[in-house]
Structure 1
Amino acid sequence: MTKFSDLNLNPKVMKAITEAGYESPTPIQAGAIPSALEGRDVLGIAQTGTGKTASFTLPMLSLLARGRARARMPRSLVLCPTRELAAQVAENFDTYSKHLKLTKALLIGGVSFKEQELIIDKGVDVLIATPGRLLDHFERGKLILSDVKVMVVDEADRMLDMGFIPDIERIFGLTPFTRQTLFFSATMAPEIERITNTFLSNPERVEVARQATASETIEQNVVMFKASRRDREGSEKRRVLRALLDAEGDKCTNAVIFCNRKTDVDICAKSLKKYGYDAAPIHGDLDQSQRTKTLDAFRGGELRLLVASDVAARGLDVPSVSHVFNFDVPGHAEDYVHRIGRTGRAGREGKAITICSPRDEKQFEAVEALIQKEIPRIENPVKVEPRKPRKPKEEAPKAEAKPEVQEAAAEPRKAPAQGGRDDTRGRSNSNTRGRGRGRYDRRNDNQVVGMGDHMPSFIALSFEERRSQ
């Protein structure tokens, strides 16, 4: 079996690895580190939770051990799709570089530009950033990328999903052609393949597992859920989630609950708290300090349930997550693999349960097609009563018409004489229809058209004057 001591890493990096308690590299580490140390481009493909971060962190630190960065000119660059993943990569660098005199900077949103500029101005060896914030600093003239010797793109397929590919291509163009590129991802979409063919030079391809596979240590199940009524789907689905949590009992030490929309994340977390569950939300609209505080509480065991959007699906390393619940089936099948990859990490056992409503069945079929296996169905722990059809209202018996009404209805209505008026209606026939209502009509001196019996007597005074003239 290969050991870290066999990989020709820098002695100070090896010392940090030993102090962290690691002896043997994972397959992706054993395959990528030697080629990276030789200065070759690397294309690494492996399922989530297999140690991709250390695959580029360790050789980068060994290569950067000698030398010094100049102001605003980082020597290496690591691009990450989300703030949380970038922060986690920074933690890895802190762990393995503690015996090296290397500096780093973390450029992510939600943090003051001035604080980040002060660090960049001093010169950094390792720059870890999200694409948007990196380009913001570059356009302000605060960053020069012409001295980048090693460039890493982590979770490249997630970059594609989040629309960062144009930014990635632009950043590639800002770095030297002679740079070394390390490209890591869990899946390889055609667009990612195009970028690797364009920007990587004869890369060493390291693929340790079939693309888009879930770890064999994760038990997967699905509940086929159908609401009794459409307007009750949300509340009944949350009830199913609570029943699943209760059914797992003490086996569920902590869990990540994934929702597709940020609004559902907030609603679900609020509902769980209302029913006495220890839960908190995390998604992209929350303030960075709040997101960091929530993640730290979850990692530290102070928080049991983390309700998250897909911002937490990629790269977050919380080793002891026992369960993952998919409140919604993800819109992209690949996201399912990354979601459930939060559990069962580093060879541990885990469990993933998905709630699938009828409108999500097509997406769920795509998930099963991607992982090439049928996910076992389990019984809904909540018996949802189907909506009962409404009974037709009994028609009330029609009351018999009074004899006078029947006689009036049977008697045909007499047509008014030509030029006359229909006294039963109080309006003129077709010959006088053009005349304005309420006007005096000499052919019928006894009527004021349009006025009923309730007309006050003073209104008729003017008409009486005209008749007397």
Structure 2
Amino acid sequence: MASADTTEAQPMMVVQAAPVTEEAVILAPVADAVAETEAADETEASFVAAIEAEIASAPEEDRATFDSIGLSEEIVKAVTESGYRHPTPIQEQAIPHVLMGRDMLGCAQTGTGKTASFVLPMLDILTGSRAKARMPRSLILEPTRELALQVAENFEKYGKYLKLNHALLIGGESMNDQRDVLEKGVDVLIATPGRLLDLFDRGRVLLADCKVLVIDEADRMLDMGFIPDVERIVSMLPPIRQTLFFSATMAPEIRRLADAFLSNPKEITVAPPASVATTITTGLAYVQPFDKREALRRLIRREQVTNALIFCNRKIEVDILYKSLKKHGFSVGALHGDMDQSQRFATLNAFKANELQLLVCSDVAARGIDIGGLSHVFNFDVPFHSEDYVHRIGRTGRAGREGHAYSIATADDAKNVAAIEKLTGKAIPRLEIEGLEPVTEAEIQEAITSPRRGRGRGGPARRPDRRDGGRGRPERGRRDASDRAPRPEAPEDLAAEAPARRDRPERRPRAEAPEGREAPRRDRDRDRDPRRGRDEQPSEAALREAAMRDFQQRDRDAPRPLYHAEQSLS
């Protein structure tokens, strides 16, 4: 065992002892160039690598193992065969409390081992009994299909020595097949909210026997508008249950949901990554809103891009940018939540096989996707959450490789940029793109100090220099009563001086109708077609029929002259 004096060299020893993989073979030609900084870069390449390096440097006898935190032998055996021996910090803190049956509130991002922190104890809890048809014993809610698939893979990998089954309810798959699986009874139900409610409304799944509920990525649920669906699903569950609630951020709305769903929870917080790996070259270009796509194209052309992820904040921006890049001849694909499942798999596989050079995606669609050897990351939109910036660019520059991450911002993004620089502790180097209209420092400072302008998420930004002048109409304040011009008073003798109005001739009174010739009243209810609405116009046939009835009624009520009778007698 290494002594305490040699703990600083242990990260290098861990890297050297790692098994030879395909990535290591690719890195062989440049191994000499990065040998001096490999240990330091490995600890900063990503948050996961930092956790592993910290654990590796600790003394062996002080580190917890999976068999020491209460898991069964079958689960520990499966975890060990997967290459893991020591739990991550969130796993070490969460698993014992979940096994005790307590509710859990975890604030941790993807990449911290969060998924295993609830999958492993759930496998242990569910062992020993069987599920009934259409009545799952546990439920895991995920915001996207990719995350649901990732959780299902964890259950298959860690539960291979247990007689437990699971069902995956996601969009883009056959609902009949999912119904057949539910009929057999499932122990673990992994679902997205939309597909789960579809099957529930059809009576194909019942949640009355669900004992464990996991709400994963609650902040993404909020961003995608799934919270009303989640609240409805929770209302269908039995009140006595164990609830595990995970979110990368803890906004006030997320805290309100946690307070509503949880009962005396154990709170665990894993600090998000706040540093950028030294292997990543970063840059930020301020441009006008109408120049963003042109700025991205110029950045891609001047960089030696092998493969790159391009992040947008909204699905509609993913589609627009994808079509724009494809129109300009780039090898590009798109990935977002509205795509068909088979199309998404095909696009992702094509990108991993280097058949596509660029992949435009949103944060939600890219969550849970790990692509090795990524050369570039482009932020077409500056993320709303500072932690998402570190998570985005952390996909490149891994394992000692050189990575590049460039962001495109407008003046309206200045506050988000300032929050990112505050989180990372250093400024992002500024880039200049020739041929594009620059954004002045005065515009940037004004956007930081002034209240956020009402453009909404992803809406068109307005030029700061047009707020009070130019084409725009200046803002008008409310005038005080003292500023108004006095209204002239009308003279008292105005009515007397006015010329006399010429009197109109009186109308002659209308002659009275002779007695017995009173016009019949029209029965409007009788004439109205009951099939016709109030706002519909009557047809010509209906008008003719009503006129004929009116004529016949008047003809019947009219008095007959005497000469009719005389003529009839003659």
Residues 155 and 220 of structure 1, relative CA distance in 2, 3 Å threshold: farther
**1:80 correspondence with 2:142:** yes
Contact 1:314 1:338 (8 Å CA) reproduced: no
Gaps of 5+ in 2: 1-62, 439-570
Q: Gaps (5+ residues) in structure 1?
A: 388-469
Cα distance in 2 for residues equivalent to 1:284 and 1:131 = 13
Match of 1:168 in 2: 230
Q: Measured at CA, do residues 96 and 349 of structure 1 come closer, stay the same or move farther in structure 2, by a change above 3 Å?
A: farther
Amino acid across the alignment from 1:383:
E
User: Shift of the alpha carbon at 1:334?
Assistant: 5.2
Alpha-carbon offset, residue 310 of structure 1: 2.7
1-side partners of 2:311 and 2:352: how far apart? 17
- Structure 1 residue aligned with 2:254: 192
Distance 1:350 1:167 in 2: 40
Q: Tell me if the contact between 1:325 and 1:352 (Cα under 8 Å) persists in the aligned partners.
A: yes
Q: Does 1:295 align with 2:348?
A: yes
What is the CA–CA distance in structure 2 between the aligned matches of 1:336 and 1:57, rounded to whole Å?
Answer: 27
Q: Which residue of 1 aligns with 2:283?
A: 222
The aligned counterpart of 1:178 is 240
Please tell me whether the aligned partners of residues 314 and 339 of structure 1 are also in contact (alpha carbons under 8 angstroms).
no
Q: Does 2:319 correspond to 1:258? A: no
Of residues 425, 428, 435, the one that matches 1:373 is: 425
* 2:294 counterpart SS class: helix
Instruction: Give the alignment partner of residue 74 of structure 2, picking from 12, 20, 26.
Output: 12
1:236 counterpart = 2:291: no
2:28 corresponds to: none
Q: Give matches, 1:41-440, under 5 Å.
A: 41-209=103-271, 213-214=273-274, 216-217=276-277, 219=280, 221-226=282-287, 232-244=291-303, 246=304, 254-266=307-319, 268-269=321-322, 278-299=331-352, 303-318=356-371, 321=374, 323-333=376-386, 335-340=388-393, 342-343=395-396, 352-369=405-422, 371=423, 373-380=425-432, 382-384=433-435, 386=437
1:89 Cα deviation (Å)? 1.2
CA-CA distance at 1:222 after TM superposition? 3.1
Q: CA separation in 2, counterparts of 1:62 and 1:299?
A: 35
Kindly indicate whether the alpha-carbon contact (under 8 Å) linking 2:106 and 2:268 is maintained by their aligned counterparts in 1.
yes
Q: Can you list the C-alpha shifts for 1:314-370, whole angstroms capped at 9, x where unaligned?
A: 33344665543212213454543543454578999865332223343233234445x
| CA 1:24–1:347: 2 relative to 1, 3 Å | farther
Identical-pair percentage: 58
Please report how far the alpha carbon of residue 191 of structure 1 lies from its aligned counterpart in structure 2 after TM superposition: 1.4
Do 2:207 and 2:236's aligned partners in 1 also have CA atoms closer than 8 Å?
yes
Secondary structure of 2:204's aligned partner: coil
> For the residues of structure 2 that align with 1:346 and 1:49, how far apart are their CA atoms?
15
Cα 1:18/1:279, change in 2 over 3 Å: farther
Q: Give the distance between the partners of 2:132 and 2:399, measured in 1 at CA.
A: 38
Tell me the CA shift for residue 14 of structure 1: 1.5
- Classify 1:174/1:340 alpha carbon distance in 2 versus 1 (closer, same or farther; 3 Å): farther
Judged with a 3 Å threshold, the aligned counterparts in structure 2 of structure 1 residues 215 and 332 are, in CA distance, closer, same or farther, namely: closer
Instruction: Write the deviation string for residues 135-189 of structure 1: whole angstroms up to 9, x where unpaired.
Output: 1111111111111111111111111111222222222221122211111111111
Code of the residue aligned with 1:375 in structure 2: it is A
Q: Quick one: structure 1 residues 336 and 203, their matched pair in 2 at CA, closer, same or farther if it must change by over 3 Å? A: same
Residue 298 of structure 2 aligns to a residue in which SS? helix
* RMSD between superposed Cα atoms in Å: 2.9
Structure-2 separation of matches of 1:102 and 1:223: 50
Note if contact 2:287-2:408 (Cα within 8 Å) is conserved in structure 1. no
1:412 aligned residue: none
1:465 maps to what in 2? Answer: none
- Displacement of 1:93: 1.4
Partner secondary structure for residue 151 of structure 2: helix
Q: Contact (CA 8 Å) 1:222, 1:356: kept in 2 or not? A: no
CA contact (8 A) 1:79 1:131 kept: yes
Between Structure 1 and Structure 2, how many residues are aligned? 375
Cα 1:32–1:345 change in 2 (3 A) is farther
Please say if residues 262 and 283 of structure 1, whose CA atoms lie closer than 8 Å, have aligned partners that are also in contact.
yes
1:458 equivalent in structure 2: none
> How many angstroms does 1:305 deviate by?
3.5
SS at match of 1:78: strand
Change in Cα spacing, 1:167 to 1:386, as seen in structure 2 (3 Å) is closer
| Local SS of the residue matching 1:234 | helix
TM-score by length of 1: 0.72
CA spacing shift, 1:115–1:344, aligned 2, 3 Å: farther
Output the CA distance in 2 between the equivalents of 1:208 and 1:201.
21
Correspondence for 1:39:
101
Report the 3-state secondary structure (helix = DSSP H, G, I; strand = E; otherwise coil) of the residue aligned with 2:213: strand
Change (3 A) 1:38 1:332: same
Q: Which amino acid aligns with 2:210?
A: V
CA distance in 1, matches of 2:292, 2:376: 23
Summarize deviations over 1:242-288 as a string: whole Å, max 9, x none: 324x2xx5xx6x43211234454345445656777653211123211
| In structure 1, distance between residues paired with 2:196 and 2:223 | 19
The match for 1:460 is none
Alpha-carbon offset, residue 107 of structure 1? 0.9
- Give the 3 Å change call, closer, same or farther, for CA 180–330 of structure 1 in structure 2: same
State the partner residue of 2:57: none
* Alpha-carbon distance between aligned partners in 2 of 1:61 and 1:220, rounded to the nearest angstrom: 42
Classify 1:273/1:313 alpha carbon distance in 2 versus 1 (closer, same or farther; 3 Å). Answer: same
Say whether the 8 Å CA contact 1:322–1:351 is kept in structure 2: yes
> Looking at both structures, which has the greater relative contact order when contacts are Cα pairs under 8 Å and sequence separation is at least 6?
1
Give 2:100's aligned amino acid.
E
Q: Measured at CA, do residues 293 and 102 of structure 1 come closer, stay the same or move farther in structure 2, by a change above 3 Å?
A: farther
